[in-house]
Amino acid sequence: MKKIYLPLFSSFAALCPIFAEAATEYYFVPESADDLNWGLLANWRTSDDGGQTLSPAESLPGASDAVVFDQSKLADLWPDGTGMGWYMNGDIQTGAVTITGNLAGLAFSSYNLEADAASSSSLTINGDFSVILDGAGGWGSKALRSGTYNPLSVEIKGDAVFGRLNNAGQLTFSLGGNSADTALKSLKIDGDFRNSTGQIGFGSFVCERDASKIAEDKYYYYKNADVQIGGSITGNSTIFLSSAGRNNTIIKVNGLSSSAGDIRATNDIKGTAGSTATIVLANEGQAVYKGGITDLYAYQSGQIGVETSNVVVDVVMMGAQGSQQKLVLSTDQRAFRGGATVISGDLRMYTLYQNNTAEGQWGKWGDVRLVGNSDGIEAKFGAIGSSGSETDADAVAYADNLVWTSGTIVAGIISSAQASLIELSGTMQKGEGAGSEFWFEFTGNTEFLLEDGASIKLISWADGNAPTDFLESEFRAADMGGKIAKFAIESDGLYVSYVVPEPAVSAAILGLLALAFAARRKK
């Protein structure tokens, strides 16, 4: 197995003797643009000194060999970095792949085939997939995609890395093409998706759906998404969830982590009516995302979206036990209309902007759906503030409706008159199969709940929108300080106060405790 030594790290290697020995790399250097076949031996050169000298390859790159596509080595063919490409057919395995140079326009794809020769291909990268701009770049199309009648499946066993040298130039890149013919069959990234620059998009995907799979497991396609990222999406640059604006793409990721992220539905195009882009947060731990997630079409800084994309974005929390994702959404009055679904794990949201159209129309966040699951993993939802805390003074999550089937709402107690607030343009509804107990968990300055006369709003709705399918007695919260939670459905929201139980209630509670203790002694 050959060591992987990338030229981008040569300066670092020179300072560290352990990395000083360069390993063999394979450079894609075709003599002409007439045949850009990966499988053509004449298109390959090898180097043992980081690309300074190149020799004709004696074999095609193997499953552990580092591969480099460097535009600076191809200036005779593509001096301005446009029109570049390589093509493959069948099942390809390689080591780490680095694409670098002045990347202005390129296509790396499976070969176009005829209908009567339809097939499929796969690319397995046993390492990182890195796209590093070294030049002006530009807005030209750059994609890893399928060929006609030859859908490509891609698996990256390391990280997907997007960056630029010297902090210069404009990098764009799409994983998946812009049409049905160039749609990737699937994309799996075992590591992180690290986007430190430019505008990177998930393009078209085949998005095959089998109704029988959903009949067996309604979450089958959340678990087996079109795009599966084993690590986190990180970085503060722009990501397009569906840059082609077609089909119903599902992207599963182990958390979103950013201090100023920018996630959009489409690449400034309207897309196909009825299309969706779903982010499935399959978190294993805790992550914080600050920035914007939007399917509004106008992206000018500081302006409200004037139009909407045809691609609707929704977020699904389906994390492991103890997992949490915080979404602090406060960027440029952006919103997504598909709402949020919590199946498992803990989702906390802050949404700065209440009105998200030029006309000030209410209700562009979609519903919050607290679903829960049958796997024994807790499902929680709660509002946080701009600092990511449940006790921030501005802690609020806006939604159209709250559809509650199972799970717990977490409310941060800020003062004797304020809690982190879920504010609805619609109302609160029971979901299909809902039980008769709906639990709250209180955190923060909970001592305020015990003050005499304290009544704190937890969920807000407009006058006249009070729910009709909930009973006040169905809401639950843990006892505190010898007091019990009492909930009230008012015309403008749901309130909680803590009161001393009536003697009969106290006796009933003591009786239940005695029965439980007696039953335990019998065991």
Residue for token digits 């045949």?
35
**Burial of residue 288, with CB atoms counted within 10 A of its CB: 0-12 exposed, 13-18 middle, 19 or more buried:** middle
Amino acid letter, 78: W
Contacts of 103 (CB under 8 A, 6+ apart): 71, 81, 84, 131, 133, 135, 137, 142, 171, 173
Structural contact between residues 134 and 102, judged by C-beta atoms closer than 8 angstroms? yes
**Would you say the C-alpha torsion 262, 156, 183, 252 has a positive or negative sign?**
negative
Percentage of the chain exceeding pLDDT 90: 77
Candidate from 135-149, 194-208, 371-385, 508-522 with smallest mean pLDDT: 508-522
Q: Virtual CA dihedral for 274, 275, 281, 287, nearest 10 degrees?
A: -110
Within 13 A of 164's CA, how many CA atoms are on the CB side?
A: 23
Structural contact between residues 294 and 316, judged by C-beta atoms closer than 8 angstroms? no
pLDDT at 309: 75
pLDDT at 1: 39
Euclidean distance between CA atoms 369 and 361, whole angstroms? 22
Structural contact between residues 82 and 117, judged by C-beta atoms closer than 8 angstroms? no
pLDDT at 331: 74
223, containing H or E segment:
helix 220-223
Q: What is the pLDDT of residues 182-207, one digit of tens each?
A: 999 999 999 999 998 889 999 999 99
Q: What is the pLDDT of residues 343-366, one digit of tens each?
A: 999 999 999 877 555 455 544 689
Q: pTM (2 decimals)?
A: 0.90
Could you tell me where the beta strands, DSSP code E, fall in 205-339? Answer: 227-229, 233-234, 238-240, 248-253, 256-264, 276-281, 286-294, 312-318, 324-329
